A and B are shown apart, each in its own frame.
Chain A
Amino acid sequence: MAASQQTEVESVRFGVVVFPGSNCDADSYDAVRTFAGADASYLWHKDNDLGELDCVILPGGFSYGDYLRCGAIARFSPIMNSVRRFADDGGLVIGICNGFQILLEAGMLPGAMHQNEGLKFVCKLVNLRVENNETPFTTGYEPGQIIKVPIAHHEGNYFIDEAGLAEIEANGQVIVRYSDETGETTKAANPNGSLGNIAGVCNRERNVFGLMPHPERVCDEIVGGTDGRGVFESIISAVTAKAATR
């Protein structure tokens, strides 16, 4: 990488929100700083100020103990008002696992999450088919590319009503689906019963993305894969491309 490019990447600023119960905050921080080479900082859930940021990460974990429903309490954290404003202004927001659940509860993404069909906590590597690579989060992948990313959740069974499903399908808001190794979205490849094998969706404007799988956990060969890096590299590309047009 040329020196100027390196500096450009370092100037991309990620903020990782830490809720009481977040446990993938450090993984997200490392994925951004160590493997993607960008800047990252932690944001405390009680703060209001995001500072100058290019992307907010809502990490995995069990915010507020997942009491009542996953993400139901976290959406009322003071920082979420700022995150919502940031998103409304076009800022990039990605919610991973519990972060996805929080975005659903906050109404920043369509749909809702309920318990896995099998009633079990599922922790394993799954295949994902990239459905839409024309988002700031997925340009690093080919359309239809199969990536291996781990999941670890008890409530990842995505639901949306019929009209909502038709809308997100038509708008290309379904970003990743659970599939087998050949890309077939079979029932056997669906780990939690999600409607339409949906693993991740974005909003209509494409700047808010939530997914149950953990790309931040597969950014280093030492943990068995690097398929998750594409997500963070895509975000960096989107931010630097936008900066270049200013």
Chain B
Amino acid sequence: MMKAKVYITPKAGILDPQGLTIERSLPALGFEGVSNVRVGKYIELELPDGDAGEAVDQMCHKLLANPIIEDFEFELVSE
């Protein structure tokens, strides 16, 4: 089996209200100078070996990410 770790983030230029809210909150805790906070999703899944990379790529395009507003990348780890 392979484990896929999929990272989905809002595309550059897309407003990310969650990221912005976090960015604005950090100085209140004394963390100055933080910029470009972006909040995304992390999806973990297991699938059979073989064309795992191709399969995960298809999953991302078809369901896991919305390519209009989100970018994705993934890594495969042998279990």
In this complex, the member of B10, B17, B63, B64 whose beta carbon has the largest number of chain A beta carbons within 10 angstroms is B17
**A-contact 0/1 string along B20-45, CB 8 Å cutoff:** 01000000000000000000000000
Pair count A-B, CB < 8 A: 33
Q: Are B64 and A68 in contact (CB under 8 A)?
A: yes
* Cβ-based interface call for B12 (8 A): no
B55 within 8 A of A: no
In the assembled complex, the Cα of A101 lies from the Cα of B28 at a distance in Å of 36
> Quick check: A114 and B63 within 8 Å, CB to CB?
no
Contact of A112 among B17, B18, B66 (CB under 8 A): B66
Q: Give bound CA distance, A157 to B10, whole Å.
A: 14
B21:A114 contact, CB within 8 angstroms:
no
Instruction: Provide the main secondary structure of the chain A interface.
Output: loop
**Any A CB within 8 A of the CB of B68:** yes
Q: What's the minimum C-beta distance from A31 to chain B, rounded to whole angstroms? A: 30
Q: Could you say which residues of chain A place their CB within 8 Å of the CB of B17?
A: 115-119, 157, 193
Q: Is the beta-carbon distance between B64 and A114 smaller than 8 angstroms? A: no
Question: Chain A interface residue count: which class?
Answer: 10 to 19
Q: Are A69 and B15 in contact (CB under 8 A)?
A: no
Whether the Cβ atoms of B68 and A111 lie closer than 8 Å is yes
A68 to B69, CA, bound (A): 14
Contacts of A116 in B (CB 8 A): 17
Q: How far is the CA of A111 from the CA of B15 in the complex (A)?
A: 15
User: B interface vs A, CB < 8 Å?
Assistant: 10, 14-15, 17-18, 21, 63-64, 66, 68-69
Q: Which A residues are within 8 Å of any B CB, using their own CB?
A: 68-69, 72, 76, 105, 111-112, 114-119, 157, 159-161, 193
The 6 A-B residue pairs with the shortest CB-CB distance in the complex, in nearest-first order = A112-B68, A112-B69, A119-B17, A112-B66, A115-B17, A117-B17
